[in-house]
Structure 1
């Protein structure tokens, strides 16, 4: 498992499963001759996308950034349509480094689409129960409201079994929330109405988790947004602001979906100065 230290924070990428989605959908209006130079695809025009939660250890607390695609949540048809050839093994990843699911104090949910939220619950003794029994769950109020009352477009990605078992442990926030000293969740919208990013700063060290407004390294261009985005223009403006902010401070950008890089650090000109590759 790959790890990265940023100031007081230690990040470890866990095995949350993998999907293969249409490259055209993942790059929106960007022509294939452009995006295919940046990110590989298979003969079905699909690109590999991890769904790997990040374990964040900070000041004696253990947090997850998103929850993976879970295990046993999908039908055979869904597994095929989403190109899932590996489901989550987050519990095994935690055991490998000496932790249990009960050790997780909080889960920072950037949004609640199925590929981020299925890992929040598991099937046990004939019912869905919280997968992380002691964890509080943080997400934006907008996202939490839409999760429970999805519209005609979003109902296919907000699943009841992903929220009902954990609703008593959810702590929604409005514009931003400081989880711990220097660690913030910030509502951006864009990919979904309630989408949030995560920022951690410790003196001059910084990481920004852009979640699905920059799901892979190939989405660095502020204009390259997803066809899945509910509010693509918002995604563009938020990317523009947060890339400028991070470039000026040589921030690390971390990824949940990228199959090739776990994190990249850019200089003030947006050039890569350091990288953490995924061990393939």
Structure 2
């Protein structure tokens, strides 16, 4: 139960997704990336599905919602979904947090592994999983999600977000947004056109919830390492260039949402490059 000043936060798992390594590393040859993160016999690597629970100024905030509970067996198999310790809702329950207790959900973007848990099936219909929450989504991200193109339509699934508008739970935000005194979002273009990270600043400490600005710590160490899923890879490189300097200037602890090797770490100089060193925040 880490506490910074009057703020409390918890990292919660929605499981592991065994995902094609080529997708995660893009143009980086397998012979190079496999030395860092050896794949299984199907060329898959494990990606953590991490959400962040924050309590700040009387608000209970959830950052991203994982895959959720709507996937059928085939979809779970395609996602390589393994939940040996339960899903997000079970993780919240272990903290005595009910879905009704969540005041704000922040979606870093609307890919299925980040927003699938936004909605849940109830009485044959889709409803917000967190009935008392406002869901904070970038307006441009919403626009791209409701009108996907041939490249993005497989990753934007309307059942994960369309019901939020119908039920009045949707809150569209424009650019960098202050959520509470200690919690804010910042747009980091590249993975999607309006992907956003979440920043916590309290008690003289700074945390950066990376989301898919860098899926793994390797991609934050090396600017050119970009996933195959990024819709604007050159923008990703420039975003990472900026945020490398930002985390150094703020001595920030980084939460790598998908990283099973270094889930939390700090960026440090390493010759003419950078490396991420693991840091515990428990």
Fold similarity call, TM over 0.5: yes
* Residue 169 of structure 1: aligned partner: 169
Q: In structure 2, the residue corresponding to 1:147 is in which secondary structure? A: helix
Q: In structure 1, the residue corresponding to 2:82 is in which secondary structure? A: coil
Q: Any unmatched runs of 5+ in structure 2?
A: none
My pick for the range that moved more, 43-52 or 262-271, is 262-271
Alpha-carbon RMSD across the aligned residues, in angstroms, is 2.1
My pick for the range that moved more, 144-153 or 127-136, is 144-153
* Residue 9 of structure 1: aligned partner: 7
* Residue 18 of structure 2: aligned partner: 20
Structure 1 residues 94 and 203, CA gap change in structure 2 (3 angstroms) = closer
The list of structure 1 runs, each at least 4 consecutive aligned residues, that deviate by more than 6 angstroms after superposition, is none
Structure 1 residues 164 and 273, CA gap change in structure 2 (3 angstroms) = closer
* Residue 257 of structure 2: aligned partner: 256
Report deviation, 1:273: 5.4
Structure 1 residues 165 and 247, CA gap change in structure 2 (3 angstroms) = same
CA distance in 1, matches of 2:138, 2:64: 13
- The residue correspondences of 1:86-165 to structure 2 (distance < 5 A) are 86=83, 89-165=87-163
* Residue 74 of structure 2: aligned partner: 77
Structure 1, residues 193-220: CA drift from partner, whole Å, max 9, x if none?
Answer: 2211112223631111221121122222
Report deviation, 1:164: 2.2
Q: In structure 2, the residue corresponding to 1:200 is in which secondary structure? A: strand
* Residue 180 of structure 1: aligned partner: 180
My pick for the range that moved more, 226-235 or 52-61, is 52-61
Structure 1 residues 76 and 98, CA gap change in structure 2 (3 angstroms) = closer
Asked whether the 8 Å contact 2:208–2:253 carries over to 1, the reply is yes
CA distance in 2, matches of 1:4, 1:39: 29
CA distance in 1, matches of 2:249, 2:161: 38
Determine whether 1:223 maps to 2:224: yes
CA distance in 1, matches of 2:47, 2:246: 26
Asked whether the 8 Å contact 2:262–2:278 carries over to 1, the reply is no
* Residue 195 of structure 1: aligned partner: 195
* Residue 63 of structure 2: aligned partner: 65
Structure 1, residues 160-212: CA drift from partner, whole Å, max 9, x if none?
Answer: 21112211211112221100113211122211122111122236311112211
* Residue 279 of structure 2: aligned partner: 275
Structure 1, residues 97-127: CA drift from partner, whole Å, max 9, x if none?
Answer: 1111111111111100111111001111111
Structure 1 residues 271 and 151, CA gap change in structure 2 (3 angstroms) = closer
Q: In structure 2, the residue corresponding to 1:222 is in which secondary structure? A: coil
Q: In structure 1, the residue corresponding to 2:241 is in which secondary structure? A: helix
- After TM superposition, the score normalised by the length of structure 2 is 0.90
Structure 1 residues 160 and 274, CA gap change in structure 2 (3 angstroms) = closer
Report deviation, 1:15: 2.6
Structure 1 residues 231 and 7, CA gap change in structure 2 (3 angstroms) = farther
Q: In structure 2, the residue corresponding to 1:16 is in which secondary structure? A: strand
Report deviation, 1:5: 4.3
Q: In structure 1, the residue corresponding to 2:46 is in which secondary structure? A: strand
My pick for the range that moved more, 268-277 or 174-183, is 268-277
Q: Any unmatched runs of 5+ in structure 1?
A: none
CA distance in 2, matches of 1:24, 1:134: 39
Report deviation, 1:235: 0.5
The count of residues paired between Structure 1 and Structure 2 equals 275
